[in-house]
Amino acid sequence: MAEPTFQSLIEDLEKYLEYQRDEGVQRLEVERAVLEELASEPLTEAPEEKIVEAVPVPADFADIGQLAAYIGQCRSCPLCQTRNLTVPGEGRTDGPDIMFVGEGPGADEDEQGRPFVGKAGQLLDKMIEAMGYSRGDVYIANVVKCRPPQNRKPHPEEMQMCLPYLRQQIRMIRPKVLVGLGGTAMEGLLGRPVGITRIRGVWQEYEGIRLMPTFHPSYLLRDASKKKDAWLDLKAVLAELGKTPPPRK
């Protein structure tokens, strides 16, 4: 097994801190010896990042399929270099009650070109069914359409390159309600950093569409105790649509 690099350790620490932040933790105790060791690590210049200019998305697509084909050829950001398949989205495209928006594709999605087909997707399917819908009744998409390496959080510039596609999808699909799955999805939709633990369950708005923030299914797989909160959020969505959950089977 390869020796972990200083950069990889920093990335792991960043993921851990993001998780703790979502848990509502505001302060962490760090041993002085750890701080001293970090301070002693020699700094190296980061490789110069290639500046990528946003490519305007045409507004005259005939349908979502044409937009998906356009996304499939996208080379606007570095994620195109490591992807297998783009993952535009799938589901009902003619004014569905709900459109779910996640962060980005994982390994399974990258292989199949479909959103939420791994373990998190299986949980999302159960959540959708508990609401009285099937996967084909709703639309599912992500902020970024290509898998970030090692499933890391998309970089801000990657999100900015991909957000025009998501905005176009929302305009064309015209969902009655949007559900943002996790902090990254909400950051993309609202255009600002958010703490999902603080914002979940509180109605927001996106271009005149009601937007409900809730936990990402992958987070619920890590912390099953939050499933109750997520279900309360989904029941609020149903109430907004004038519906109630169907009886449990």
Q: Residue 248: its pLDDT value, please?
A: 83
d(CA 136, CA 229): 25
Sign (positive or negative) of CA dihedral 85, 87, 90, 93: negative
**Does residue 38 sit within a domain?**
no
**Does residue 100 sit within a domain?**
yes
Is 128 a residue whose pLDDT tops 80? Answer: yes
Mean pLDDT value across residues 187-213: 96
Residue 218 in contact with residue 190, Cβ under 8 Å? Answer: no
Is 16 a residue whose pLDDT tops 80? Answer: no
pLDDT in tens, 149-164: 999 999 999 999 999 9
**Does residue 25 sit within a domain?**
no
User: Degrees (nearest 5) of the Cα angle 177, 175, 66?
Assistant: 150
What are the C-alpha distances in Å from 63 to residues 69, 93, 162?
10, 9, 18
Average of per-residue pLDDT values in the chain: 86
CATH of residue 102: 3.40.470.10
| Range(s) of the domain holding residue 139 | 64-240
**Does residue 2 sit within a domain?**
no
Domain count across the chain: 1
Q: Residue 45: its pLDDT value, please?
A: 42
Mean pLDDT value across residues 220-228: 97
Residue 246 in 3-state DSSP? coil
**Does residue 248 sit within a domain?**
no
d(CA 244, CA 206): 24
**Does residue 3 sit within a domain?**
no
Is 223 a residue whose pLDDT tops 50? Answer: yes
- What amino acid is encoded at 69 in this protein? A
**Does residue 59 sit within a domain?**
no
- What amino acid is encoded at 161 in this protein? M
Residue 140 in contact with residue 244, Cβ under 8 Å? Answer: no
pLDDT in tens, 66-118: 999 999 999 999 999 999 999 999 999 999 999 999 999 999 999 999 999 99
